[in-house]
Structure formats: C-alpha cells, structure tokens
C-alpha cells in the first residue's frame, strides 16, 4: 500500500490523480490532500478518501469543513501548515499539482523529507531548477515527471545509459493558432486563443500553448530533469498529439512514446514507476485509425515566446524566474482584455531586458523576483 499526498487536489491534475488512485484502492491510500478555495470539491474528496490531513489555503474556510471531517481527519490552513504537514506525513509519494510559484516551497520540503515527487508544477524547475536538483542529490529524493512530454522522455530513456543520449525532441500541438498567419494572430482575441484543437486544459495553459510559451517552459524543465544542454533539446510541431516526445541516441536511433491525448497515463506511470498497471480511461491507440502523422518546424516569427524561453534558460540564474512571472502576468492581462495577444511577447521581452540577472539566486530571491515581476506586469508598469 503506497501512501500518497496530493497537492492541488481540486485542480485538473489533482482530480485525475485521484481518479487513478480510485481505480487501485488496494495499492494506494491518500494520506494528505491540499487545495485552495474549492471547498465544495474537497469536501467530496474528504468523504471518499478520508485522508489523515487536509490543508486548505485560508483559515477562514476551516469552519466550512467541520461537519465533513471524519474523526481521524484533521484540517489545517495556510502555507506554513502545509509545509509542516509535508514534513510529518507518512506519504511516500507527493503529487505536486499546485499552480504557480506557491508550489516551490512544498517541493523543497518534500525533497528534504526524502519523498518521491510527481512533479506537475512547472514553476518549481523553471524558476529554481538549480536549487531543486541540488537538493534532490543531497537528500536522496526522486523527481518523476508528470507532464505528458517529460513523462514520454522519461519512459523513452528507460533501460539506456545517459551517455548514449544525443538529443531530446519535445512535441507541440501548435496550439490554437497553428494554422493562422502571423498577420492574423495580431488581432487574436482570448476566445480565439482558448479554442485548443487537441487538449482540454485550463485557461492559462491553453494561452501558453497558443504562444508556445508552454514548450519554452518544458524545454527549461527538460534541461533540469534530464541534465541535457539546451542545444540538444529540440521542439517540433506535431498536430495530432500522438507522439508525446522522442529521444535520439548517438547511433541515430530514435525512441518515441506514443498514446492518445490523456493525462491519466503519465500520472499513473509516475505513481507506479517502474511498474505498469491496467488503466481505464485513455482510448487505445489504433494507428490505422489515425492514418497520418504530421510534423512541422518552429516558426521564429510566430513562436517568439519559445525562442525567448531558450535564451532565458541559456542565460540561467534568475532569468527564467522573470520569464515565467512576466508571462503569467501578461497572460492574465490578455485574458482580462487589457493586453493584445502579441503584447504578451512584448511584455516578456521588456521584463527580461530590464532585469539584472542573479547567477545563483536563493529561494527567497527567487520568490522576491517572481512577485516583483508579476506586480509590475499587473500594473502595466513601464520597464
């Protein structure tokens, strides 16, 4: 029986993690649930999974949970309480599906406790990869990728020597504007950008797919997860989203992981690694039904955000922190109708140009730079 903590339990990855656990009640037990403000959803999760600990964001919401807590479940609130709970929990596996920079400290706490961490929180590695990887080595913790692209790379590396790897190839659907001209994209609306052709995702991730920033963040993550130089990480547009990523070896053989677009597969693989279990949910991949797979090169005019992510990653230090924070703030303004779609890339570029890079920022410096950048972008400050 593997005991599991689910951070971000009411979000997309969190609920799908619980879907997987629900299919294997003899193998998994939920010890800890953590969420933000979706109290109604977490009430149902508490009733079903009866965890030892529930952590919510705001202390003012604790009263709403009282009548729904089993005798053996305690409810606490706030970041400090979450960090304490992670240090104390008997869960061997932590699924970090939290959104934003708030996922960094819980990741570091879980690492110091020697947990295995399913990492679905991009900000952890994008903003502080140097700190996270060093901590994993020091405390003997393991990070297992949950994003479909990184899970695909992880799966394609099994049974091979790292020294034999030549290149990582991350696939991208191309997002909502893959068939739009660069001129038409200038006038894109939030409604246009949210119309993703392949995946059902949250608003922010869907916009990132449209700008291709999601691939840029994934390139930075892959650099840290797999110890791969940026010049050896490529991105290719693959509109069917059947091949999730590929690994090229020095003998020019290429191993790919394939499957229908569904996040439950990568989630379950992280939970069960190195074993594989039966899984209900994803459709079986019948290639004769797919017919043809298409691949296209990146367009440097349409995909400026991806190229900026490469540059920020190669610069290193605090540059990726600024990249991520400026992007989140710009996407928020775009969704509010306060910024044009091309303005997202413009804001990020200005933020990076104005920043004096710190080579090896501490967690405190990362969080300070993150908040400062977000605040300036939210306020529409001139750089």
Establish whether 13 is an annotated binding residue.
yes
Parallel, antiparallel or unpaired: strands 93-96 and 2-7: parallel
The answer on whether 147 is annotated among ligand-binding residues is yes
Report whether 20 contacts 41 (CB < 8 A): no
118 is in an annotated binding site: no
Question: Is residue 238 within 8 Å of residue 247, measured between CB atoms?
Answer: no
Residue 165 to residue 304: CA distance in whole angstroms: 28
Rounded distance between C-alpha atoms, residue 119 and residue 110, angstroms = 11
Instruction: Output DSSP code: residue 302.
Output: T
What single DSSP character describes residue 283?
P
Residue 156 known to bind ligand: no
Ramachandran category for residue 249: left, alpha or beta (phi over 0 → left; psi -120 to 50 → alpha): beta
240 alpha carbon, distance to own chain's centre: 21
Residue 337, annotated as binding a ligand:
no
Residues 21 and 131: their CA atoms lie apart, in Å, by: 30
Please report, for residues 27, 192, 312, the alpha-carbon distance to residue 2 in angstroms, rounded to integers and kept in the order given: 6, 43, 38
The reply to whether 36 sits in an annotated binding site is yes
**12 assigned ligand-binding residue:** yes
121 annotated to bind ligand: yes
Query: Is 160 flagged in the annotation as binding?
Result: no
Please check if 148 is assigned to a binding site: yes
**Are the beta carbons of 214 and 205 closer than 8 angstroms?**
yes
Where is 21: in which H helix or E strand?
helix 12-23
**340 annotated to bind ligand:** no
Tokens of 312: 């920020």
Q: Buried (b) or exposed (e) across 355-380, using 16+ Cβ within 10 A?
A: bebeeebeeeebbebbeebbebbeee
Q: Where are the beta strands (DSSP E) in the chain?
A: 2-7, 28-34, 53-56, 74-77, 93-96, 116-119, 142-145, 165-172, 233-237, 243-249, 254-258
Q: Which residues are annotated as a binding site for NADPH?
A: 10-13, 36-38, 121, 123, 202
Q: Which residues are annotated as a binding site for Mn(2+)?
A: 147, 149, 218
Q: Which residues are annotated as a binding site for 1-deoxy-D-xylulose 5-phosphate?
A: 122, 148-149, 173, 196, 209, 214-215, 218
Q: Which residues are annotated as a binding site?
A: 10-13, 36-38, 121-123, 147-149, 173, 196, 202, 209, 214-215, 218
């Amino acid at each position: 029986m593997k005991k599991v903590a689910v951070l971000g339990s009411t979000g997309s990855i969190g609920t799908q993690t619980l879907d997987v656990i629900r299919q294997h009640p003899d193998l998994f037990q939920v010890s800890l649930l953590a969420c933000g403000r979706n109290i109604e959803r977490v009430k149902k999760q508490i009733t079903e999974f009866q965890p030892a600990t529930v952590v919510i964001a705001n202390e003012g919401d604790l009263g709403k949970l009282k009548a729904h807590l089993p005798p053996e479940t305690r409810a606490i609130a706030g970041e400090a309480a979450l960090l304490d709970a992670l240090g104390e929990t008997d869960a061997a596996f932590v699924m970090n599906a939290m959104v934003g920079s708030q996922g960094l400290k819980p990741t570091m706490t879980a690492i110091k406790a020697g947990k295995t961490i399913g990492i679905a929180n991009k900000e952890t590695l994008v903003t502080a990869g140097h700190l996270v990887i060093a901590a994993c080595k020091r405390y003997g913790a393991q990070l297992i990728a949950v994003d479909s692209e990184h899970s695909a790379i992880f799966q394609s590396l099994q049974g091979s020597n790292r020294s034999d790897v030549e290149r990582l190839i991350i696939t991208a659907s191309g997002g909502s504007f893959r068939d739009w001209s660069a001129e038409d994209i200038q006038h894109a609306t939030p409604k246009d950008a949210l119309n993703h052709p392949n995946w059902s995702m949250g608003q922010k991730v869907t916009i990132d797919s449209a700008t291709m920033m999601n691939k840029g963040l994934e390139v930075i993550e892959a650099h840290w997860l797999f110890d791969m130089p940026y010049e050896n990480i490529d991105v290719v547009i693959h509109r069917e989203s059947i091949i999730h990523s590929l690994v090229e070896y020095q003998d020019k053989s290429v191993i790919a992981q394939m499957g229908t677009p569904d996040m439950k597969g990568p989630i379950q693989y992280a939970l069960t690694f190195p074993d594989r279990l039966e899984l209900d949910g994803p459709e079986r991949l019948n290639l004769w039904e797919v017919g043809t797979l298409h691949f296209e090169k990146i367009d440097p005019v349409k995909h400026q955000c991806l190229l900026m992510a490469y540059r920020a990653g190669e610069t290193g230090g605090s540059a990726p922190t600024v990249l991520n924070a400026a992007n989140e703030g710009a996407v928020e303004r775009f969704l509010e109708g306060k910024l044009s779609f091309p303005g997202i890339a413009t804001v990020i570029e200005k933020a990076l140009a104005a920043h004096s890079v710190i080579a090896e920022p501490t967690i405190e410096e990362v969080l300070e730079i993150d908040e400062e950048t977000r605040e300036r972008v939210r306020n529409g400050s001139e750089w």
